[in-house]
Amino acid sequence: MSTLPVEQTLDCRGLSCPLPILKTKKTVNNMADGEVLMLLTTDPGSPGDVAAWAKKTGNKVLSSQAEAGVYTFYIKKTLLRGMV
């Protein structure tokens, strides 16, 4: 596993769709622009869902890894221009 500096971590292991996305959104809402969230999931649908969520909300997935059934995402909160 890489060792990016993270400001927040969120453990969504064991949770199914759409909970990882909903909890990620809630957590990211309370973070400052540019801060990094480490998200852990086990839902096999989450790599696709996290990527789609990030694309739509403008947040950046810095990296994602899968290891022993656990997905780890590093997500950088990125405010869209014109959106507050």
Partner 1 sequence: MSETQKKVALIASRGTLDWAYPPFILGSAAAAMDMEVMIFFTFYGLPLLNKKIDAKVSPHSNPAMPMRMPFGSKDFQQIDWNIPNFISGNMPGFDTMATSLMKETFKNKGVATIEELRELCVECGVKFVACQMTMDVFGFTKDQFIDGIEVGGAAMFLEFAADADIQLFL
**Region of 2-10, 23-31, 32-40, 64-72 interacting with partner 1 (CB under 8 A):** 23-31
Preceding peptide of 20 cis, ω within 30°:
no
Q: From the list 6, 8, 11, 15, which residue makes contact with partner 1 (rule: CB under 8 A)?
A: 15
Query: Rule CB under 8 A: which of 34-53 touch partner 1?
Result: 43, 52-53
Phi, psi at residue 26, to the nearest 5°?
A: -60, -45
* 17 annotated active-site: yes
The answer to whether 75 and 27 have CB atoms below 8 angstroms apart is: no
**Region of 8-16, 30-38, 60-68, 69-77 interacting with partner 1 (CB under 8 A):** 8-16
Q: Considering just the CA atoms, what is the radius of gyration of the chain in Å?
A: 12
